[in-house]
Amino acid sequence: MTGPTVRFLGGVREIGGNKILVEDGPDRVLFDFGPSFSPRREEYYVDFLQPRSASPVEDLLEFDLLPRVEGLYSREALQGSSVPYRAPEVHAIFVSHAHMDHAGHLHLVDPEIPVYVGAGTRTLLETIQTSSPSMKYGEHPWKVFADRVPIRVGRIEVVPFPVDHSVPFAYGFLVRTSAGTIVYTGDFRQHGPRAADSRAFFEAAAAEEPEMLIIEGTRAGADRRKNFSEEGVRTAVDRVLDGCATVALACTYPRDVDRIRTLHAAAVEAGRTLLVSPRTAFLLASVAPHFPDGEVPVPGRSAGLGVYARKKRRLFRWEEPLLDGAQSAAEVRARERDYLLALDLMHFPEMIDLRPTKGSPFVHSMSEPFSEDDVDDRVMHNWLDHFGLRFHQMHASGHASGAELDAIVRRVRAAKVYPVHTEAPEAFRSEGVDVVLPELNATYPVA
């Protein structure tokens, strides 16, 4: 093939793990580089069993969990692997957003390859690295892009557009090549606070008359799980807190700033204080400057926001200042009615000290499990039952629904549609739409 091409090195028939290589003549740009959340990976690596840090690429290649690409990995990461080290042959990596499945393999990349991210994502990645010791993104020449300002990498021009997703600072891209434009959506939704951004992106995408639409399809196909809008979550939480005389507990995804804002607003409305972990407090303080003033609550500055100090032997340096004036389990027990406590599943043992009044609400503001025999879900319910808490499911997904995806495909009118980040690519097939089901590692001409 002589014209520009696209190779799908991940995100094929799996949720997450997008690795999309665009090649135009001598120029090569990679979009996203993280592990998938697929059952395929979990066949070999689970919580307690992970690749060795001395030979990460070798251990992942063993099960085809990474692409065999030369001129991408660092010399150090390639230790012991069958892929020889070559000087960089990928000229830029664009990361759509800060979620693990899009950025989690960056530490394996040659430190000479520039990594392009939004300014907010740069802050987020740094914050995550500081406050989660197991997360490393590696050393790179970081390049920060601005909204809708084109970046040229040889013959390829990339225009980043902000989109709405369950982590802030998420982007979709228009990728202009010598044979036409590729639209790559990243992950997105249009039922959150930045829905207008997603719509503006798809309008710009349609105006481009693209050759290819590479679209995520997390919720494509049969998805019976209940989905709220972000406003819907707010209304539902308000209802739970209304007239509630006990403590209320909630759990969310750790980087879902929108959800933390929603919980905070609901707590304030109900005359309560939202208590968050030091890690969440650190995150809020870090990202707040990227938002209009006052939009993101900051501990110590915003009313109705506090920090919960769980029982811990050792403190990290970054968390010490945040624990000044933090509330302990004893304080929450003494004034239950004053608090909405955000408690991660991994910190459930705090309930042993909290002893919430029987019947206190627990708001599960995360995805429902995919399967009925989900171990984490069973364990969570065992704890809730043991302490007699009332379970409420209230979540706004980070992804567009099947019907919305269909409408977008029809609006953008690309010559060909390539579904990624989905277990149901066939669901995109419909009258008058040319859908290509990409194969892993296969190369496709742009036009």
CB of 187 to Zn ion, least distance (A): 4
When the beta carbons of 127 and 422 are compared against Zn ion, the nearer one is 422
Q: Give the helix ranges, DSSP H, for 27-118.
A: 39-42, 56-61, 100-103
What SS3 state is found at 327?
Answer: strand
What SS3 state is found at 237?
Answer: helix
CB of 220 to Zn ion, least distance (A): 13
Q: Which of 4, 16, 118, 172 is the binder for Zn ion (CB under 5 A)?
A: 16
3-state helix, strand and coil shares in percent for the chain, rounded to the nearest 5:
30, 20, 50
When the beta carbons of 219 and 272 are compared against Zn ion, the nearer one is 219
Span interacting with Zn ion, options 135-143, 158-166, 184-192, 247-255, rule CB under 5 A? 184-192
CB of 37 to Zn ion, least distance (A): 8
Span interacting with Zn ion, options 179-187, 240-248, 257-265, 408-416, rule CB under 5 A? 179-187
Nearest residue to 194 via CA among 114, 292, 107:
292
When the beta carbons of 23 and 32 are compared against Zn ion, the nearer one is 32
Nearest residue to 34 via CA among 139, 226, 168, 186:
186
Span interacting with Zn ion, options 186-194, 196-204, 343-351, 429-437, rule CB under 5 A? 186-194
Q: Check residue 432 and report its DSSP letter.
A: T
When the beta carbons of 103 and 275 are compared against Zn ion, the nearer one is 103
**23 lies in the site for Zn ion, by CB under 5 A:** no
When the beta carbons of 4 and 398 are compared against Zn ion, the nearer one is 398
- Look at strands 305-307 and 273-276 and give their pairing: parallel
DSSP 292-321: STTSS--TTTSTTEEEB----S---TTTTG
Span interacting with Zn ion, options 15-23, 77-85, 201-209, 377-385, rule CB under 5 A? 15-23
Question: How far lies 331's CA from each of 114, 154, 327, 355, 400, in Å?
Answer: 48, 60, 6, 12, 41
When the beta carbons of 16 and 297 are compared against Zn ion, the nearer one is 16
Q: Which of 187, 211, 258, 350 is the binder for Zn ion (CB under 5 A)?
A: 187
Cα torsion 217, 222, 225, 231 to 10°: value is: 50
When the beta carbons of 188 and 308 are compared against Zn ion, the nearer one is 188
What are the φ/ψ torsions at residue 438 (nearest 5 degrees)?
A: -65, 150
Residues in the interface with Zn ion (CB under 5 A) total: 3
CB of 421 to Zn ion, least distance (A): 6
When the beta carbons of 73 and 188 are compared against Zn ion, the nearer one is 188
What SS3 state is found at 75?
Answer: coil
When the beta carbons of 268 and 424 are compared against Zn ion, the nearer one is 424
Span interacting with Zn ion, options 95-103, 277-285, 328-336, 366-374, rule CB under 5 A? 95-103
Contact between 230 and 198 under an 8 Å Cβ cutoff? The reply is: no
CA angle 103, 100, 7 (to 5 degrees): 50
Nearest residue to 149 via CA among 139, 160, 141, 140:
160
Q: Which of 27, 101, 164, 256 is the binder for Zn ion (CB under 5 A)?
A: 101
Contact between 119 and 192 under an 8 Å Cβ cutoff? The reply is: no
Largest CA distance in the chain: 72
What SS3 state is found at 377?
Answer: helix
CB of 16 to Zn ion, least distance (A): 5
CB of 101 to Zn ion, least distance (A): 4
Span interacting with Zn ion, options 101-109, 122-130, 175-183, 385-393, rule CB under 5 A? 101-109
Quick count: other Cβ atoms within 10 Å of Cβ 355?
14
**14 lies in the site for Zn ion, by CB under 5 A:** no
Is 115 exposed, middle or buried (CB count within 10 Å of its CB: 0-12, 13-18, 19+)? buried
When the beta carbons of 4 and 16 are compared against Zn ion, the nearer one is 16
Nearest residue to 156 via CA among 176, 174, 173, 172:
176
CB of 99 to Zn ion, least distance (A): 5
Interface characters, 316-355, with Zn ion (x: CB under 5 A): ----------------------------------------
CB of 206 to Zn ion, least distance (A): 23
Question: How distant is the alpha carbon of residue 25 from its chain centre?
Answer: 32
Give residues in contact with Zn ion (CB under 5 A): 16, 101, 187
